[in-house]
Amino acid sequence: MGKYAIEVENVGMKFNMSSEKVDDLKDYVIKLLKRQLNYKEFWALKDISFNIEKGDRVGLVGLNGAGKSTLLKVISGVLKPTEGKVKISGNIAPLLELGAGFNKQYTGTENIFLYGAMLGHSKAFLTEKYNEIVKFSELGEFIDVPVKNYSSGMKSRLGFAIATIVEPDILVLDEVLSVGDAKFRKKSTNKIKSMIENNVTVLFVSHSIDQVLDLCNKAILLDKGHLVAYGSAQEIADLYQQRLEDK
């Protein structure tokens, strides 16, 4: 086994953005048929290369629009890069949009089995872990209520509880430690810390420098889709802080 958990090589991600405003579907179809739709290329990521060693905890920082979430989606396999490649060693648990896979008509209980199955868990395993998931999510009797009646915080808590029920080799997090109230944030951070102690490799996006310094030993600074710097968490935090002050 190599020493790297994640290898990112010359990754680029291109999106086609419509360069004009189309007011409705009819207008869009007419322009499409007449080939009057103009697209401009937008590179959300360009020439991104880095390696993450097993057991490293890497924070991903940068201003809005830097490409952080896009990069996590490419690494997690949600998006296929336009160019370059990503190599993952070990099983990966992406906590990107918590609860995005929920069926709103189903109850919390039904979604534990549905979402859990999507994450590759067997019904027997989920049955065994059911009480633990419910307890961690703090939903109480709301577990039997359809998810469409949940607040976004409740959905995130349930998503987090299901997604972290097993310890993966690699954990990919996108702003998920900012969900819910202060008490749940502390609890979810402690859960991540306990996973870190078991040598889980972590890559996560955060807008909180304190959080990056608390959880990470390394960090990456992205700006407008380009990798600016990759180094110790403190070094990158200082650089990012400097950039914020210069804005």
Convert the pLDDT of each residue in 67-117 to its tens digit: 998 999 999 888 899 999 999 998 887 777 776 678 999 999 999 999 888
For the stretch 149-188, pLDDT in tens is: 998 888 888 988 988 888 789 988 887 666 667 888 888 8
Which amino acid would we find at residue 191? K
Above 60 in pLDDT, residue 19? no
In sequence order, which residues have a C-beta less than 8 Å from that of residue 170 and are 6 or more positions away? 5, 6, 88, 90, 91, 92, 93, 200, 201, 202, 203
Instruction: For residues 165 and 211, give the distance between their C-alpha atoms in angstroms, rounded to a whole number.
Output: 22
With beta carbons less than 8 A apart as the criterion, state whether 43 and 12 touch: yes
Instruction: Let me know: does 205 contact 31? Beta carbons within 8 Å.
Output: no
H or E element in which residue 194 lies: helix 182-197
Percentage of the chain exceeding pLDDT 70: 87
The per-residue pLDDT for 226 is: 95
Per the confidence metrics, is the pTM higher than 0.85?
Answer: no
